[in-house]
Structures are given as C-alpha cells and as structure tokens.
Amino acid sequence: MAQRTITSPGVEIRESDLSFTTPAAAGTSVYVTGFAQQGPLDEVLLVSTKQELTQLFGPPTNAAEKYFHYTISELLNSPATVYAGRLPYGKGNGDGFGSKYSALVYPVSGFNRSGVPTTLSNVTSGAIVIGAPAHVELTESQYLSAVDGSSINWANTATDTSRINASLLGNGGIVILNKSQLANNNGFEGTYVGIAGIQQFNPATNFDVISGVKAVNTDSSETKPTDMIDVPAKSLTFSLTSSPTDGSSQSISRVVENLTDYDLEAGSFNDYLNIGVFKLRKSIYANEATKLDYVLTDNIVGSINSHRVQLNPNGGADKTAFLGNVADNSQNIKVLVNDNISRRLLGGDGLNDENKPTVAVITAGTKSRTATNTGLNSTGLGGASNFTSTFNGFRLSSFANKLFPLGQFTSETVTTKFLGDIPTKLERSLDNIKNDEVYNIDVVVEAGLGTIHAVASAAETFYYDDEDYGAKVATAVNGLRTSGDVSEATSITLRNNYSTVFNKFEAFVKPPYDGGQRGDCIFVADPIRQILIKGANKKDLSR
C-alpha cells in the first residue's frame, strides 16, 4: 500500500488499497404471494425467519398453501429480504371483498365570516363544517356514473344525512367512494375512514381528533350515522387518543394528525383535509381472538379548493393540491368534492394577500371550540360572537370525529377454502407493491399460482390437488405434449388459464412506457407441474 504524508500540522492522508477487500453481501428483495390458512389479508409483510413465517401464516394445510409456504421457506435460507402477501380464500374476489360498491357521504354546512350559515358557494371567507356521514351501497352503474359525474347534481345548501341516498350523492359535500369493493364483516373487520381539518391540529394538546369507531351491522342500501353501532373499546388493541408527551403511543388520532412527512404551517393549510383509510383486522399477536388491531392503508391530504397547488418536492412545476386529484393515487378510494365547495366552476384558489386560505374546513364534533380557538381568526371569524353558538349547535347534532365504515357489510363467513378468481386476487396483491418508493423489490415469484389456477380449472374443482391426474387433468395436460399446434379444447383452456396468471406478472414487471407498472424488477415463473410430474411424485420426462 502506498502512504503519503503531508507536513501541514496535524494533517495526514493515507491511501488504502481496497482491491482485496470482500464486499458486503447484499441480499435480493423478493415478493411472494399465495394462499395460507391464516394471517393478514391484503397486506405486505416482511418475513425474516421460518419461525415468523409459521407464526404469521401457519403451517400449510393443502397443496395450494404448500407452494406459498415452501417458496418462502427456501428463500429464507438465502440472504434475500422476503416480503409476503396472503391471498384471500373465497369465491370471486374473496374474503374481505364484496360484489357491490359503497360510499361514505359527508354532509356539510357553510358559515360566512360573521358566523352566519350561508350557501356553500357564498363561503368565500368563513368555514365549511363537515358532519357525520351516511353509509350508502351502490350498484356498479351507480358507482360508474358517480365517478364520471353524470349522476351527481351538487347541492348548494347545507344538508343532513336524511336527504342522502344512492340517487342523491350530490346532497353531500365530501363523498368517499369504495372503488375496490372492500367489505366489512360482523366481527368489525374491514375498512374505516377518519377525517380531520388541518387547522384543528395543535401539537401542544392531546391527539383527539378521532374518539370512536362506528360500524354497520346490516346489509342496507343506506345507513345513517345514528343507525350505526359503536365498536366496543375493549375489542381494540390500540388507543384512539393519546397525549402529546406519550411518544410510544401510535393512537389513531395521532396518525390522522401526522399523515404528511412535512410540516403543515398553521394558517396556511386551513383548507386542507386529512383522510386516513384504516384496515381493522384480527390481531395476530393478541391472546383473544376477537381483538382488533389496525393498519393504515391510505393517507390522503389535500385542499378542498380545486385550484390550489403546492410546491413539487421533486422540482419543476407546482403540482395540484386538490383533495380529489391527490386521492386518484389511492388503491382503495376515490374522493369527490362538491363543486360549490371546490369552486371548480367559480374559480380562484381562495388565498388572501398573505397567501393564506380564507376558507377553513372543520370536522364537526372534534372539540368544543369557540370562535377564537377555532384558529379561524385570519378568516375574520375571531370576533364573531354568534359563530360560537351556531357552530357548536351544528357540532352537537352531527359528530364526525369517528372512524366510519367504508366497506359494504357482509355476514358471509368463509369456511371453505375456495380459490376463487385467482387472477383478480393476484392483480390486487401486486398493486400493493407497485410503489417502488415504498417497496424496493428485485424479484417477484410466481410460486405456482399459474399451476394452481390452470389445473384447478381443468379439474373443475374449487380447490387445487397437486396429486390429481384424473381424466380431465390428464386430457388437458397431454394435449400440450405436442410439437405442433394444440388442438384439444381443454388443453387450450389450460394453457390460456396459465397464461392469464403469467401475463399478470409480466405486465407488472414491465416498465410503464411498455404498458407495465414497475420496470425495475423481474419475475420467476414455474411451469405447469403436471407436465413434468404425474400424481404424487411420478416424473414424466419421456415425451
């Protein structure tokens, strides 16, 4: 090694030859999805040990689960970082998903700068107050017409949930659509939404913007907030509120108040709304089977004004800050904002000379507030004595400081391990890792899903049997053993079903410019098992 000394006082530079230094091993990040007998659904979990694998997903109980379990088990023998996602059993989309769409429709009221109720479009300096929502079930046509706006005629006056239903979504101010057909069950598992206005946050006070959890317990076309039931606090493994000095408690309120990775300066974001989408599911760590914990699945923060923009953290032109546009990146929800609130047609970003919004958004019932401590002084409400009584009167009639159920209600319990629509389930599982800024995935493993889907379909069963080589499976598989064109109809169907799964993986790893999603990873696919193995373990390499 060469050594050079500089005579300046106290300074010495040494050159070290690192050519013989062994580089540190860097493991590959791998994602595996498949069926298991237990464990969280629709989530991406990091699995570090074989003991953790069994604790999370249990030992395999059938052939389909063996693929998932033993693929992960073998990967854990390597330096790979292993992420896993469990597919739901059940017909169609599976457990946790339904056949309908649903929505939470929040009523709103407008107050002018004097604290007097007024029409929504007239609130150019004042407050928009959001009340507790109605839960509405939608058909596919109703959902699609809501998305394109053809069925919505936005009301300009204050409304309540008595005038909200599937045909009158426009009587709401904020509409949150369940675009993934998520479902909530009678064990209170499912998807819930919590919202809060930015101006209601104060880091020096308790985190308490969410004080309870509401649920639906009947399959109804519409459920008013007064007809919803309370989820018992004893069923929750987490806190809803916490103090500012309790750094260890990730309460729901604390999460909702901290959905961004940047500071929301007081006064400058009073027209912003925080929306947290939470999945409540049976705790995998609690001793009691009925205990629920939570996962934050979506966080949307944006302005109710459709013309608002904010700095682009990546540089370049400003990007939209409108709540409806920000939510377009969500996998689970779509947010609609009443045109009379968003000022989509009226224009103007709602900022004053100090670049602060003149209209604030408040979730009713969050705290007992006076005109002074609402934080609305900059809007001219600070001295409005009648604002206190008017606002508190609305607040007491309709509390919005809860988690409300988004998913449609289902009482169906999956007791039979139906494979269901594997391609659709797979597509959603892959969607969970499509954000390359969150999940640095190098390899996606097919883990036998093509074989499971194709062979179960060929056997005309709702389950997969890896030892099945009966007449139906044999005919379909043998038809593929040819160097010419495949002519057997069942063989073509077998190949097409396998290709459907294969193509889901291929489309996922392709770059966006080529019609794909990621473009920074590869996938590994297994061939159809029965082409090489007959029955339990008989190899067929003669053809």
Per the domain annotation, does 2 fall within a domain?
no
Same domain (yes/no): 333, 424: no
pLDDT tens digits for range 69-120: 999 999 999 999 999 999 999 888 877 777 789 999 999 989 887 778 889 9
Same domain (yes/no): 145, 254: yes
- pLDDT given for residue 21 in this prediction: 46
- Residues 96 and 332 sit within 8 Å (Cβ to Cβ): no
Per the domain annotation, does 476 fall within a domain?
no
Report the chain's mean pLDDT, rounded to a whole number: 84
- Residues 35 and 87 sit within 8 Å (Cβ to Cβ): yes
- pLDDT given for residue 261 in this prediction: 76
**Of 379, 395, 410, which residue is a domain's last?**
410
Same domain (yes/no): 128, 264: yes
Where is pLDDT greater, at 416 or 515? Answer: 515
- pLDDT given for residue 494 in this prediction: 94
- pLDDT given for residue 412 in this prediction: 66
pLDDT tens digits for range 372-400: 444 444 343 433 334 444 444 444 446 88
Per the domain annotation, does 255 fall within a domain?
yes
Same domain (yes/no): 217, 268: yes
Per the domain annotation, does 321 fall within a domain?
yes
Residue 347 token pair:
């224009």
Per the domain annotation, does 490 fall within a domain?
no
pTM to 2 decimals? 0.79
pLDDT tens digits for range 419-444: 999 999 999 899 989 888 888 999 99
pLDDT tens digits for range 323-369: 999 999 888 899 999 999 999 988 889 998 888 899 988 887 655 34
Q: Which domain holds residue 501?
A: 29-94+416-449+459-468+497-527
Same domain (yes/no): 356, 425: no
Whether the per-residue pLDDT at 223 is higher than 70: the answer is yes
Distance CA 534, CA 468 (A): 8
Q: Which helix (H) or strand (E) holds 32?
A: strand 29-35
pLDDT tens digits for range 479-491: 998 878 888 999 9
- pLDDT given for residue 370 in this prediction: 39
Residue of 431, 428, 438, 450 lying closest to 498 (CA atoms): 450
Same domain (yes/no): 80, 217: no
Same domain (yes/no): 402, 431: no
pLDDT tens digits for range 13-52: 556 555 544 444 456 899 999 999 888 888 899 999 999 9
Q: Assign residue 56 the CATH number of its domain.
A: 3.40.50.11780
- What is the percentage of the chain residues whose pLDDT exceeds 90? 51
Same domain (yes/no): 174, 307: yes
Distance CA 172, CA 159 (A): 7
Per the domain annotation, does 19 fall within a domain?
no
- pLDDT given for residue 362 in this prediction: 86
Per the domain annotation, does 220 fall within a domain?
yes
Q: How far is CA 49 from CA 73, 140, 177, 443, 479, in A?
A: 8, 43, 39, 19, 42
Cβ neighbourhood burial of 156 (10 Å; 0-12, 13-18, 19+): middle
The vertex-257 CA angle with 251 and 263, nearest 5°, equals 135
Same domain (yes/no): 214, 339: yes
- Residues 8 and 43 sit within 8 Å (Cβ to Cβ): no
Give the total number of structural domains in the chain.
Answer: 2
> What is residue 214's three-state secondary structure?
strand
> What is residue 62's three-state secondary structure?
coil
- Residues 322 and 306 sit within 8 Å (Cβ to Cβ): yes
Same domain (yes/no): 168, 289: yes
Distance CA 274, CA 307 (A): 18
Same domain (yes/no): 385, 246: yes
Per the domain annotation, does 322 fall within a domain?
yes
Same domain (yes/no): 441, 380: no
- pLDDT given for residue 312 in this prediction: 82
